Structure 1
Amino acid sequence: MQRNNILYPGILLSFLALITAASESATPITKNRSLPLVINTWEFTEANSAAWFVLNQQPGGNALDALIEGCTTCERLQCDGTVGYGGSPDENGETTLDAMVMDGSNMNIGAVAGLKQIKDAISVARHVLEHTKHTLLVGDAASNFAEKMGFRRETLATNNSIDIWKTWRQNRCQPNYWLNVYPDPTKNCGPYKPISFDVLDNEDVHRYEYQIGRWNHDTIGMIVIDRNGQIYAGTSTNGAKHKIPGRVGDSPIPGAGAYADNEIGAAVATGDGDIMMRFLPALVAVEGLRAGRTPAVAAETAMQRIKRYYPDFSGGLVVVDRFGNYGAACVGMLKFPYSIVSGDATQKTRVEYKYCETSPSFL
């Protein structure tokens, strides 16, 4: 018995050591084959290509510079009218911007929300990251900060955004985001005043009729991983079209619009931000990776959790582990396109599609 007590544990420990050594020696060859990587929500291929170019300009290309250039490209191109200036006017006809940058090496974040009269939202977020001890700056104060950092104030309105707002007003401000107010927000413009809950029936209290989609309000969410495994995640958006002034969605909220951890991976979200920010899907997905789930399953789990409470919710999530394996999930749409490029510098951006699940498979 004494011999067994000594011998068997020794054999077991030696066997486990051999397995561990073999696994570790294989890691650089098999697991990092997909790096570097750039991936973003939707078919924003120009943004992906711009980030990829910066990432491959020099050995060990700068992931932060690549992320900023990718998102800035979308801001300049006004991707789908949902990113950058000249889109998604609020109830007053004004366009405001939200953006965030997260460093996966130290969990540091720079973000802006409700940014006014400054076009370069993602770059201002970078300045919050690099030049302050804060995480999030908002509204006019964020614009004042941007001016101090050398950015120039200019109008974010365009003829197109003004026409969108005028058409909405002519359509009696339909659709909008108001609930439990008078005059009836389904038929009239404001100003509105609250209705006491004791005079509302249950159906009125739970009214949720605003249908969203890609063309109404969405985001560019981008993840960049360099050859050394440094991860940055970022977002940029002009928010929800016809939003109540002051509204901020998920994009600049850590864990909602984006989340990154060099030890695990990253996730970026897009869709109905008012709902998504209540569930922190990017954080949930990254924690799913930490628990051993694949990127696809981690993404699906996070999205289906939202759908359980909001069956009509629409949104998508892209998830990448630290080795460059990726997956996506979506609900409330037929399919969700996202742009991806990885591997050696000769690779080109391609668009892949995730067909949305119609039932919760991972709850």
Structure 2
Amino acid sequence: MFNRRKFIKASALSASLLAIDRASAAAMIPNPSSLETVKPIVISTWDFGIAANQAAWKVLSTGGRALDAVEKGVHVPEADPKNQSVGYGGLPDRDGHVTLDACIMDDLGNCGAVAGLEHIMHPISVARLVMEKTPHVMLVGDGALQFALENGFKKQNLLTKESEKAWKEWLKTAKYAPVMNIENKLYDKAAPTKLPGNQYNHDTIGMLAIDAKGNISGACTTSGMAYKLHGRVGDSPIIGAGLYVDNEVGGATSTGVGEEVIRNVGSFLVVELMRQGYAPEDACKEAVMRIIKKKPEIAKGIQVGFLALNKKGEYGAYAIQKGFSYAVCTSQKNDLLIPGKSYY
């Protein structure tokens, strides 16, 4: 038999539950303001990223394009003779040649790179010209130098007295055993180690930026592993390894032993993981874990780190070893150095 009183009570209860469910659902829907892109923003690897970020910020803060910002930003370490792992003053290969690698990528998916480039102060700018003036992605060695000279770059000696002295000291033993984890030595306060050839340096500088229009670009540049075999190229100039940008998702860059990054197409992997919903730090961690899982014994003695920035302006990093750091610059966070998390 139909009971009107019970029906009214049940209807009232259902309406209350529905209201609660709607309120809960509304609470789970992200506030549009929380999804607003943090822009502009620039992040880069290592402590020398602070000065690089300052140069990039001058472009971003005046409404400039992210591509211009990352190029100008990495010019700073490229021209710093005290930085023995990037550009001018970089430690040479085993034959005494300073060879530079760099790549750049914009929000439209355009990219350019140079590898094994000698005698040019700013390889990142040559890489940009490869992107903008040729149908190619990468030029190497003598061809890259010829292209640079034809486009107005000046040839100069990049081997400083300090780096030459370090190289000659290394030649006394000429032991081809590069210190692959030199980044950590700067942070080992308990037992700082004197490295052969005064190799107190970091590694690659990788930089990612979002401009005021919400577009992303990235740059990566290095003089490579100290005393490497002549002709060796690491991950830094390889799109998808040392750097990758997808304007719909975000960007990633890497630092450390490039061979392991190349084998795992590291930066592309990080971006694809962010596409699947991973937060930047989690995506970087997963890429690191791939390296450790494949070669656990090798991973114990090397450093690889990833840095990522997504479309929202969220950023994060993860490395195999402790000691990795990165710099962040926004209108709210100016020149902030953040230690990256690590597995070991």
Identity %: 39
* Structure index of larger Rg: 2
Residue equivalent to 1:108? 110
- Aligned residue-pair number: 300
User: Out of 216, 221, 232, which is 1:231 matched to?
Assistant: 216
User: Out of 59, 69, 93, which is 2:72 matched to?
Assistant: 69
Residue equivalent to 1:325? 314
Call closer, same or farther: CA 1:253–1:79 in 2, change over 3 Å. Answer: farther
Question: Gaps (5+ residues) in structure 2?
Answer: 1-20, 184-199
TM-score (norm 2): 0.82
Call closer, same or farther: CA 1:104–1:354 in 2, change over 3 Å. Answer: same
Matched, 1:85 2:73: no
2:176·2:228 contact (CA, 8 Å) conserved in 1?
no
> Using the alignment, how far apart are the partners of 1:93 and 1:86 within structure 2?
12
Q: What's the offset of the Cα at 1:88?
A: 1.7
Matched, 1:55 2:98: no
1:216·1:240 contact (CA, 8 Å) conserved in 2?
no
What is the Cα-based RMSD across aligned positions, in Å? Answer: 2.1
2:323·2:339 contact (CA, 8 Å) conserved in 1?
yes
* SS of corresponding position for 2:182: coil
String of CA shifts for 1:101-126, please: whole Å, max 9, x gaps: 01132x21110000011111111111
User: Out of 134, 142, 145, which is 1:143 matched to?
Assistant: 145
String of CA shifts for 1:111-165, please: whole Å, max 9, x gaps: 0000011111111111111111100000011000001111011111111121111
Matched, 1:120 2:94: no
Residue equivalent to 1:303? 288
User: Out of 36, 39, 44, which is 1:40 matched to?
Assistant: 44
User: Out of 276, 299, 302, which is 1:291 matched to?
Assistant: 276
Q: What's the offset of the Cα at 1:168?
A: 0.5
Q: What's the offset of the Cα at 1:31?
A: 2.0
Matches within 5 A, 1:324-343: 324-332=313-321, 334-342=322-330
Q: What's the offset of the Cα at 1:311?
A: 2.5
Q: What's the offset of the Cα at 1:211?
A: 3.9
2:317·2:341 contact (CA, 8 Å) conserved in 1?
no
Question: Gaps (5+ residues) in structure 1?
Answer: 1-14, 178-209, 359-363
> Using the alignment, how far apart are the partners of 1:265 and 1:176 within structure 2?
36
Residue type of the partner of 2:215?
Q
TM-score (norm 1): 0.78
> Using the alignment, how far apart are the partners of 1:62 and 1:86 within structure 2?
29
Residue equivalent to 2:181? 212
Matched, 1:266 2:270: no
String of CA shifts for 1:60-96, please: whole Å, max 9, x gaps: 3221111111000111124631111222210111101
Q: What's the offset of the Cα at 1:297?
A: 0.7
Residue equivalent to 1:353? 339
